[in-house]
């Protein structure tokens, strides 16, 4: 019997007991048998405005709990989830199952779990009480800031448009705060909730229960919706690009970035309208950078050197605001920027020359070779990486570093795909911002 089957047989029921929505906190309560999990969010945003009906806030908080629960459910993969604190229609139940199923694709793959959409989970919940429409004047844009180059580009484009920006930062750190400051936005404008994982989950992982990747960007989406509603913003502008739609596993539909994909964005917008009401009275969620490739975003990012010393998107180095220079994310960002920046600038950013690190050759091959699995990090398409490497090689043709030589050997007659005018029309960018993107493209 596999670990997956063993845990499911021992722990058949996961319960979403409830949540406590206080003046500056939300505490959720989940359980698997005698094991109880109480993750918490703390924040400074006020709940006591006259135009914030408690009923609507509770439905938003409940939905955030639904996004959170999968991180706890996955440790035992209980066959049944019982919801005791809110209502879900059959359509909503199917919606959540789809998110969990696709968002756990990497988790299932890496844990060698063989199951099906029909069998992996049953969700039981009472019918919901429909929310009445709530006419409400909204303005400005909430921008989730993760500390990397993508949210930097979103900030700069929206500044160019004269938009009133509210930065949104979960578990603020040096890079995220530094990017807001480099954008010349006052830190007291930012919404900065603190999200805490219950240590009981870490104890279950240490005890040998299952662990792995979950769709965290769905947590970002539902929390941004809650805090955006509390702040009265008109838009929530993500920084997810077209490249987030690509599968990571050759011959299989496994996307590390599923909850950053166009499919999730489409589904989430539909959930928002059906559950909370039409956009305009509620914040409208979209990704500003969806029409663009990661390569185009990097081309735009290098125009803003004030961020070079503060941006950082390495997961391993996030606690120390540093680039570890040993992971796929560091290597990928280095390659993208090497297409546009000289070695001295890159060394100032990363502290090393990653293109000389032959110990990363296997990781490097996963980024460029068709038929090889991509590293499970938020990285772009292989075409984008190959284009960046071909440009980096031209800049260093006299004495190319080791990994550029490796690229040249594997692609001796490479003809790069031109991405300079790429524009993905499958997007939900409001027209006023779409014009901004198109004008920016024309300037490049």
Please report how many Cα atoms fall inside a 13 Å half-sphere around the Cα of residue 6, on the Cβ side: 6
Rg (CA), the chain: 22
Q: Indicate if 282 and 388 belong to the same structural domain.
A: no
Pairing of strands 141-144, 165-168: parallel
Q: How far apart are the C-alpha atoms of 151 and 157, rounded to whole Å?
A: 10
Q: How far apart are the C-alpha atoms of 120 and 100, rounded to whole Å?
A: 10
The torsion angle over the Cα atoms of residues 236, 241, 245 and 246, rounded to 10 degrees, is -160
pLDDT for residue 154 is more than 60: yes
- Mean of pLDDT over the chain: 91
pLDDT for residue 245 is more than 70: no
DSSP 292: S
Question: What is the predicted pLDDT for the residue at 125?
Answer: 98
Q: Indicate if 265 and 382 belong to the same structural domain.
A: no
Per-residue pLDDT band for 38 (boundaries 50, 70, 90) equals: very high
Question: What is the predicted pLDDT for the residue at 255?
Answer: 58
Answer whether residue 53 is part of any domain: yes
Answer whether residue 95 is part of any domain: yes
Sequence-distant (6+) residues with CB within 8 A of 258 are 102, 103, 105, 215, 264
Helix (H) or strand (E) holding 13: strand 13-21
Q: Indicate if 258 and 331 belong to the same structural domain.
A: no
State phi, psi for 165 to the nearest 5 degrees. -105, 130
Question: Of the residues 272, 287, 302, which one is the last residue of a structural domain?
Answer: 287
Q: How far apart are the C-alpha atoms of 302 and 153, rounded to whole Å?
A: 9
Of residues 72, 378, 101, 401, the one with CA closest to residue 246: 378
Give the position of tokens 């190319």.
400
Question: What is the predicted pLDDT for the residue at 416?
Answer: 80
Question: Of the residues 287, 315, 341, which one is the last residue of a structural domain?
Answer: 287
What is the rounded average pLDDT of the residues 425-444? 85
Q: How far apart are the C-alpha atoms of 257 and 239, rounded to whole Å?
A: 13
pLDDT for residue 275 is more than 90: yes
Question: What is the predicted pLDDT for the residue at 77?
Answer: 97
Of residues 150, 331, 366, the one with CA closest to residue 248: 366
Q: Indicate if 282 and 344 belong to the same structural domain.
A: no
Q: What percent of the chain has pLDDT over 70?
A: 95
Q: Indicate if 234 and 338 belong to the same structural domain.
A: no
Question: What is the predicted pLDDT for the residue at 376?
Answer: 63
Q: Indicate if 270 and 332 belong to the same structural domain.
A: no
The torsion angle over the Cα atoms of residues 358, 363, 369 and 370, rounded to 10 degrees, is 170
Q: What is the pLDDT of residues 64-88, one digit of tens each?
A: 999 999 999 999 999 999 999 999 9
Answer whether residue 273 is part of any domain: yes
Q: What is the pLDDT of residues 98-150, one digit of tens each?
A: 999 999 988 998 899 999 999 999 999 999 998 888 878 899 999 999 999 99
Q: How far apart are the C-alpha atoms of 33 and 289, rounded to whole Å?
A: 43
Vertex 342 angle, CA 338 and 348, to 5°: 95
Across 121-263, the runs of DSSP E, i.e. the strands, are 122-124, 141-144, 165-168, 194-196, 235-238
Question: What is the predicted pLDDT for the residue at 311?
Answer: 94
Answer whether residue 138 is part of any domain: no
**Domain count of the chain?**
2
The alpha helices in 281-368, defined as continuous H runs, are 294-301, 328-338, 343-350, 361-368
Q: Indicate if 125 and 9 belong to the same structural domain.
A: yes
Question: What is the predicted pLDDT for the residue at 378?
Answer: 64
Q: How far apart are the C-alpha atoms of 299 and 422, rounded to whole Å?
A: 13
Q: How far apart are the C-alpha atoms of 367 and 53, rounded to whole Å?
A: 48
Q: What is the pLDDT of residues 283-324, one digit of tens each?
A: 999 999 999 999 999 999 999 999 999 999 888 877 788 899
Task: Pull the structure tokens for residue 405.
Answer: 């030589």
Question: Of the residues 265, 287, 309, which one is the last residue of a structural domain?
Answer: 287
Q: Indicate if 213 and 279 belong to the same structural domain.
A: yes
Q: Indicate if 332 and 410 belong to the same structural domain.
A: yes
Question: What is the predicted pLDDT for the residue at 49?
Answer: 73
Q: Do the beta carbons of residue 301 and residue 154 sit within 8 Å?
A: no
Answer whether residue 250 is part of any domain: yes
Q: What is the residue range of 54's domain?
A: 3-129+189-287
Question: What is the predicted pLDDT for the residue at 207?
Answer: 96
Question: What is the predicted pLDDT for the residue at 254?
Answer: 58
Task: Pull the structure tokens for residue 435.
Answer: 């014009």
Task: Pull the structure tokens for residue 393.
Answer: 């090689």
Question: What is the predicted pLDDT for the residue at 322?
Answer: 84
Question: What is the predicted pLDDT for the residue at 350?
Answer: 93
DSSP 423: -
Q: Do the beta carbons of residue 276 and residue 60 sit within 8 Å?
A: yes
Q: What is the pLDDT of residues 176-224, one digit of tens each?
A: 999 999 999 999 999 999 999 999 999 999 999 999 989 999 999 999 9
pLDDT for residue 248 is more than 80: no
Q: Indicate if 352 and 230 belong to the same structural domain.
A: no
Q: What is the pLDDT of residues 340-378, one digit of tens each?
A: 999 999 999 999 999 998 998 998 888 888 877 776 666
What is the rounded average pLDDT of the residues 50-66? 91
Answer whether residue 175 is part of any domain: no
DSSP lists the bridge partners of residue 93 as none
Answer whether residue 316 is part of any domain: no
Task: Pull the structure tokens for residue 251.
Answer: 């011959």
Q: How far apart are the C-alpha atoms of 347 and 334, rounded to whole Å?
A: 10
State phi, psi for 22 to the nearest 5 degrees. -110, -175
Question: What is the predicted pLDDT for the residue at 392?
Answer: 93
Answer whether residue 397 is part of any domain: yes
Q: Would you tell me the crossing angle of helices 294-301 and 382-395 to the nearest 10 degrees? A: 40
Of residues 370, 444, 56, the one with CA closest to residue 228: 56
Q: Indicate if 282 and 334 belong to the same structural domain.
A: no
What is the rounded average pLDDT of the residues 40-58? 85
String of b and e for 129-146 (b: at least 16 CB within 10 Å)? eeeeebeeebebbbbbbb
Q: Indicate if 337 and 386 belong to the same structural domain.
A: yes
Per-residue pLDDT band for 251 (boundaries 50, 70, 90) equals: low
Question: What is the predicted pLDDT for the residue at 152?
Answer: 97
pLDDT for residue 250 is more than 60: no
Across 201-282, the runs of DSSP E, i.e. the strands, are 235-238
Across the beta sheet with 235-238, the strand order is 165-168, 141-144, 235-238, 284-287
End-to-end Cα separation, the chain, in angstroms: 57
Task: Pull the structure tokens for residue 155.
Answer: 């900030």
């Amino acid at each position: 019997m596999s670990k997956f089957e063993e845990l499911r047989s021992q722990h058949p029921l996961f319960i979403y007991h409830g949540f406590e929505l206080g003046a500056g906190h939300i505490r959720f309560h989940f359980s698997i048998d005698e094991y109880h999990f109480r993750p918490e969010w703390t924040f400074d945003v006020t709940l006591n405005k006259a135009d914030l009906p408690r009923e609507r806030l509770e439905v938003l908080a409940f939905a955030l709990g639904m996004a959170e629960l999968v991180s706890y459910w996955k440790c035992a993969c209980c066959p049944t989830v019982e919801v005791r604190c809110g209502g879900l229609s059959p359509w909503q139940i199917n919606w959540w199952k789809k998110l969990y199923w696709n968002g756990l694709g990497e988790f299932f793959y890496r844990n060698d779990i063989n199951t099906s959409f029909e069998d992996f989970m049953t969700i039981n919940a009472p019918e919901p009480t429909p929310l009445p429409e709530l006419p409400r004047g909204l303005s400005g844009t909430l921008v989730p800031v993760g500390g990397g180059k993508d949210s930097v580009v979103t900030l700069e484009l929206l500044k160019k448009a004269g938009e009133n920006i509210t930065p949104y930062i979960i578990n603020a750190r040096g890079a995220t705060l530094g990017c807001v400051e480099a954008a010349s936005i006052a830190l007291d404008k930012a919404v900065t909730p603190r999200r805490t994982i219950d240590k009981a989950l870490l104890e279950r992982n240490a005890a040998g229960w299952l662990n792995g990747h979950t769709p965290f960007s769905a947590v970002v989406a539902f929390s941004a919706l809650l805090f955006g509603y509390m702040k009265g913003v008109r838009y929530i502008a993500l920084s997810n690009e077209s490249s987030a739609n690509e599968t990571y596993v050759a011959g299989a539909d496994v996307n590390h970035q599923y909850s950053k994909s166009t499919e999730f964005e489409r589904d989430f917008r539909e959930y928002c309208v059906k559950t909370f009401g039409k956009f305009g009275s509620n914040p409208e969620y979209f990704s500003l950078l969806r029409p663009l490739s990661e390569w185009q975003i990097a081309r735009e990012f290098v125009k803003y050197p004030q961020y070079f010393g503060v941006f950082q998107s390495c997961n391993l180095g996030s606690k120390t605001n540093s680039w570890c220079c040993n992971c796929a994310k560091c290597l990928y960002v280095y390659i993208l920027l090497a297409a546009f920046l000289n070695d001295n600038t890159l060394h100032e950013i990363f502290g090393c020359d990653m293109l000389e690190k032959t110990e990363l050759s296997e990781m490097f091959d996963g980024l460029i070779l068709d038929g090889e699995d991509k590293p499970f990090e938020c990285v772009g398409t292989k075409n984008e990486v190959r284009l960046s490497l071909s440009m980096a090689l031209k800049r260093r043709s006299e004495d190319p570093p080791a990994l550029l030589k490796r690229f040249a050997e594997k692609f001796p007659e490479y003809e790069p795909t031109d991405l300079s005018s790429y524009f993905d029309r499958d997007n939900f960018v409001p027209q006023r911002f779409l014009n901004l993107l198109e004008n920016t493209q024309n300037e490049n």
